[in-house]
Structure 1
């Protein structure tokens, strides 16, 4: 993708980087961590990679980025430890790409001696994450920022909770040390607003007291930029800016859906592009929702029944999926007896496919709040009208 095909959010990224690295009196909670929430496919990961990370690095920070959805077969703990090991390895490898990128920190090209056993970080008897980040900050003499995308995936398992506690210990070990040449800073992002809020508000959570914020979705300036790019191509039918902005909101502020709608508009006849545009956007919004829900359809009738049970629990989730009351509910829905082992298999498949998550022991919730919202809207449409009183 060429540079001119990227919409950069330099102001937003710069403000966030400054609040994190050089917090004012009202921003000091960022030292405890930042949890950034926003629904899927609105550009969070793109923003992190192309705008926020460069903004942090341009201010001298060393950034480690981990996407917990990058490899569903690996646990969050394994992915984080692997990313830390790779960073330490590059810093110890003469001429590595990371050393070249950090040239401004005067680290030299010969590599650093960190006195850390890379292959034993996080293992019994090996170096802890706290020791690894202490070594990173001490040797690089700069701020080290760890960004974990889809951080809510750490919830619901003992291993995930252990990882969060280890990262809190690293934060405290580095930031509480007198005269430290840098700080350990943590950013967690995710698509489940209520779960991320709980990670900063519940006292039992390791990052209680950290800053919880909503991701700023792309605005009208992005729509204008997209229309300006396309206006240079001859023969394209484009909506007005106001209509395009309204359609973008209908599409949930999703940039990929905006492009899809603009492509589809070229195939629609008529003399009024704005009228056709609104129809295209409404149709695509419904189709996108259907695609999200199809994943649950593929799990069969029992999967749909389990999903219905979980979705009814709201954002906070529901417990008792394997109890007698729930089993009766499933049996009535599918018309045959259901036992707990069948439900467990379906739930395991849903967790593995990242359709649902377990925020705490025995509690399950839909991974993407948008999917739950769409399902509820469809159920309302399918519900029979109330009879006469």
Structure 2
């Protein structure tokens, strides 16, 4: 499906970044949260970026998930350096045409863009200021999946540097540096703003609105246009399918493609088949999470269970947590064992646990929180398989007791 533009939303957010909104603190930094695959990155690049450019801003976009093996701080520095290089080239050519051999830029003599943020290079703060100086325009820095910066000390320092640049470059009524931080996990993104030590303490995280009825109506119109025989399309059923797929346009388009494939004819209406396909996708996702959970060892299950239940209040090694693990595994559990388990869950493929540079933990895939809440509310947690594994190193006497209780039952 073609890109579904949201110009009104882009204009509203751009107004906030430029201090034109009556309420809100977007001019100090706009923090946007939206689940994965719901169109967040597409909106930032194809809607918000051109809107800001039309207002005269230089937009720098950096996706911290573009290369998860590299340090987030280096990705941010490279994005700024690439844009700065373009403008420095213009300045250098202008200086040469005027017969100048060196370029004096706001106190700096020749900037090596490959050394930004390094010991022998200019700081990230100065690099952003330099970009503003040479471009003669306000700068809009969009950092996608910004929560990933917190996984390294350098990444967190980069965020602090950007906050410093914002404070130095902005004045009441003049916003020379606009910051947009987006994330696919609200809980992780909040760690940038919700504590005294957070780089942007005091800012707020907003939920980016999901695509909804307008998007689905556009899809229905396209179907009717290309397949007149299916007119009229039941938009309500399409919306049910879209919501079942957690408002993820890519999955919606994929399911539509399968349903409308002429090689897969069916007596059912395409709308009913689409709803069925969405429900199957949801069931498959939940079955996959259940399978991953049941494949864990008992202590791994109990630690993950505690993390799902506690969320941002998770404290892995306190007395309550250790008692919880002991109760679920029927064994004494030490802090060292828990630390090892968390590392196993963090480094497995795919990773199940996220860790910040400060030692905070969270579930890697936010969808697992929804799955946990759904089962917990239904009284169906924890999930069980055909044979739930016994704890490792269970004493023989305890096994015999369990066997006797089973016979009595």
Which TM-score applies when normalising by structure 2? 0.76
Q: Where do 1:33-182 residues align within 5 Å?
A: 33-93=29-89, 114=105, 115-155=110-150, 157-176=152-171
Match of 2:183 among 190, 194, 203: 190
Q: CA RMSD in A?
A: 3.5
Residue 75 of structure 1 deviates from its aligned partner by 1.5
Mapped contact 1:194–1:315 kept (Cα < 8 A): yes
Are the aligned partners of 1:318 and 1:365 in contact in 2 as well (CA < 8 Å)? Answer: no
Q: Any idea what SS the aligned residue of 1:368 has?
A: coil
Residue in structure 2 matched with residue 349 of structure 1 by the alignment: 347
Give yes or no for the alignment of 1:374 onto 2:371: yes
Q: C-alpha separation between the residues in 2 aligned to 1:312 and 1:302?
A: 15
Structure-1 separation of matches of 2:383 and 2:161: 51
Deviation at 1:216, TM superposition (A): 0.8
Question: CA shift at 1:330, angstroms?
Answer: 8.0
1:249 matched to 2:236? The reply is no
1:302: Cα distance to partner? Answer: 6.4
User: Does the CA contact (< 8 Å) of 2:298 and 2:329 recur in 1?
Assistant: no
Q: Distance in 1 between matches of 2:129 and 2:212?
A: 39
Gap runs ≥5 in structure 2 = 94-102, 385-409
The gaps in structure 1 that reach 5 residues or longer are 100-111
Displacement of 1:63 in angstroms is 0.9
User: 1:9-41 deviations in whole A, cap 9, x for unaligned?
Assistant: 1111122112212423424x2221111011111
Partner of 1:233: 226
Whole-Å Cα distance in 2 between the matches of residues 344 and 200 of structure 1?
25
Distance 1:285 1:327, change over 3 A: closer
Q: Which shows bigger deviation, 287-296 or 320-329?
A: 320-329
Alpha-carbon separation, structure 2, partners of 1:13 and 1:235 = 33
Query: Structure 1 stretch 153-162 or stretch 30-39: which is displaced more?
Result: 153-162
| 2:98 corresponding residue in structure 1 | none
Please state whether the residue corresponding to 1:162 is helix, strand or coil: helix
SS in 1 for 2:354: strand
Q: For the Cα contact (< 8 Å) 1:315–1:365, is it kept in 2?
A: yes
Alignment check: 8 A CA contact 2:306 2:314 kept: no
1:222 aligns with 2:201: no
C-alpha distance 84-290 of structure 1, shift in aligned 2 (>3 A): farther
Q: Do the aligned partners of 1:261 and 1:280 also contact (CA within 8 Å) in 2?
A: yes
Question: In structure 2, do the counterparts of structure 1 residues 298 and 44 end up closer, same or farther at CA, with 3 Å as the change threshold?
Answer: farther
| Alpha-carbon distance in structure 2 between the residues aligned to 1:217 and 1:142 | 32
Residue 254 of structure 2: aligned partner: 260
Q: Which has the higher contact order (CA 8 A, sep 6+)?
A: 1
* 1:212 and 2:205 are equivalent in the alignment: yes
Question: Aligned partners of 1:273 and 1:147: how far apart in 2?
Answer: 39
Give the stretch that moved more between structures: 270-279 or 224-233.
Answer: 270-279
Relative to structure 1, the CA distance from residue 354 to residue 50 in structure 2 (aligned partners, 3 Å threshold; closer, same or farther) is: farther
- CA drift of 1:260 comes to 2.6
Distance 1:341 1:35, change over 3 A: closer
Provide the secondary structure at the position in 1 that maps to 2:311: coil
How many correspondences in the alignment?
Answer: 360
* TM superposition shift of 1:315: 4.5
Residues 92 and 269 from structure 1, CA distance in 2 versus in 1: closer, same or farther, beyond 3 angstroms?
Answer: same
Match of 1:381, SS? coil
Contact 1:247 1:277 in 2 (8 A): yes
Q: What's the TM-score once normalised by structure 1's chain length?
A: 0.79
